[in-house]
Structure 1
Amino acid sequence: MESIILYGSRYGSAQRYAQALSQQTGISALPADQAGNLSPYGRVIFLGGVYAGGVRGLAKTVRALKPGQALLVATVGLADPNDPVNAANLRSFVRRVLPAERAETTPIFHLRGGIDYQRLSFPHRTMMALLYRQVQKKPIEQRSAEERAIADTYGKAVDFVDFQTLDGLLQAIEKGSDA
């Protein structure tokens, strides 16, 4: 089955994962906004950065899919994907844009990215400053994984990218057949 890796990345973590996945599988990786016609592909492997409750490029990619095309999705975000509440939130971000027939059958993976406040756009820096102020008002024991990540990393450059966490996605790709 012909496959393609697409990614939606603003600051680079999803792109880095997509390129590493491409190197490990031999499947071509492209930015989602440059993908064009997806008809030749039986399977689309999508990696997207999580921004403000959405997954960058996922909705457009899903709209471009034809019936019968397989989809695998990996989110890339700052908060720990091993936290059950955070993982549930990430799944809901993905399922919100999937049609009903895909929502229950699409494998969803979660990868940890990073943030560099110096590289953030002015609107994103402003949004993070507002979020940080809100988080600081909340007692530590009541903070979600995402809120803890914001508090712990605010103003810093941190990189949680770990290519070993691609193993689950690699297994799903191999299970679904080859590139």
Structure 2
Amino acid sequence: MGSVILYGSQYGSARRYAEAFSRMTGFPAASFGERADLSACERVIYFGGLYAGGVKGLRQTAAALPPDTAMVIVTVGLADVSDPENIRSIRRSVRRQVPERVWDRAILFHLRGGIDYSRLSLRHRAMMALLYRQVSRLPAEKQTAETRGILETYGKAVDFFDSGALLPILEAVR
């Protein structure tokens, strides 16, 4: 089997991107928990939601990757991916989750997803409330693009889904 698309998504943004990419490429897509055997895959394209400093399902997927299988990692989160500081932070997070053998060969992309506070679990709502209180106390000069994004979107429903953002990934896998 050639390429497969896997995703780890809590609230749907990573799944939406994965399914849109599946329609563009014809590669099959599934949740990371539904696909245990990756031995026949030449390449795994992984779309993972960013949650509390980690990428949902990435650690498990990378650990299950056969040695010669290539990996494209696509993070999906609320942070502005045009900000270099956000990208550095996301890459540090990804680096902590994948073995060296995967990291050395992986191609990384970052997309913006969304958030709808009305759909968050009680636990996630509480975590976001604590985070909001913490960052709202920061002086303006100490705020980062990521913390400003939290302040701007807190309590709202925002959706940054952009199927056009998949085109560079499409070029990379052709």
Counterpart of 1:8, as a letter, is G
Count of aligned pairs between the two proteins: 174
Distance in 1 separating the partners of 2:151 and 2:107:
30
The offset of 1:95, in angstroms, is: 1.2
- Identical aligned residues as a percent: 53
1:31 aligns with 2:31: yes
Counterpart of 1:104, as a letter, is D
4+ residue segments displaced more than 4 Å: none
Distance in 2 separating the partners of 1:156 and 1:126:
15
Point out where structure 2 has 5 or more consecutive residues left out of the alignment: none
Point out where structure 1 has 5 or more consecutive residues left out of the alignment: 175-179
Counterpart of 2:20, as a letter, is A
SS across alignment from 2:72:
strand
Calculate the TM-score normalised by the size of structure 1: 0.94
1:133 aligns with 2:159: no
Which residue pairs with 1:97 in the alignment? 97
Deviations 1:141-162 (A, max 9, x none): 3211221111000000000111
Task: State the superposition RMSD in angstroms.
Answer: 0.9
Deviations 1:34-74 (A, max 9, x none): 11211111110000000000000000001111110010000
Calculate the TM-score normalised by the size of structure 2: 0.97
Distance in 2 separating the partners of 1:20 and 1:118:
24
Distance in 2 separating the partners of 1:128 and 1:16:
23
1:18 aligns with 2:18: yes
- Kindly report which structure 2 residues correspond to 1:54-133, keeping only aligned pairs within 5 A, or say none: 54-133=54-133
Moved more, 32-41 or 2-11: 32-41
Which residue pairs with 2:48 in the alignment? 48
SS across alignment from 2:6:
strand
